[in-house]
Amino acid sequence: MNDARNVVTVHIAGEEYGIRAVATPEHTRECAAHVDQRIGEILRQGTLVQAHKAAILAALGITDELFQARRELQELRAEVARLATRLAADVQARLGPGDLASRR
């Protein structure tokens, strides 16, 4: 496994950070831009929120999205497995019990 780390300078909530990551610089910048956008959205809501609290709220929102995406992925995987099982059963039923063995 390649453990080469890239150092990328990013800006989040008006602060500059040097991020060292295995990910590509483009990916790191994209992640940082997403975090910066979410913090900015919270700060623009007009409530008096300190930057570190906005960062925590942004992290909670991003984590919620992650968990929802994981649940959806799990549901999709279960659906694909169910459909694959049904398809295999349909194929087996149409071919008959000896058809697959005789084709080997």
Number of domains in the chain: 1
| Buried residues in 9-31 as b, exposed as e (16+ CB within 10 A) | ebebbeeeeebeeeeeeeebbeb
**What is the CB neighbour count within 10 angstroms for residue 83?**
10
Query: To which residue do tokens 């809501």 refer?
Result: 45
Q: Give pLDDT, residue 67.
A: 98
Asked if the structure places residue 1 within a domain, the reply is no
Is the residue at 104 inside a domain?
no
Structural domain harbouring 82:
6-95
> CB atoms < 10 A from the CB of 60, how many?
11
pLDDT at residue 66 in the model: 98
Asked if residue 103 is part of any domain, the answer here is no
Q: Considering the entire predicted model, what is its pTM?
A: 0.74
User: pLDDT for 30-78, tens place per residue?
Assistant: 999 999 999 999 999 977 778 889 999 999 999 999 999 999 999 999 9
Residue-level pLDDT at 2: 57
Model confidence at 82: pLDDT above 90? yes
pLDDT band at 85 (very low <50, low <70, confident <90, very high): very high
* For residue 1, pLDDT beyond 80: no
Residue 102 lies in a domain: no
Segment 86-101, tens digit of pLDDT:
999 999 999 876 665 5
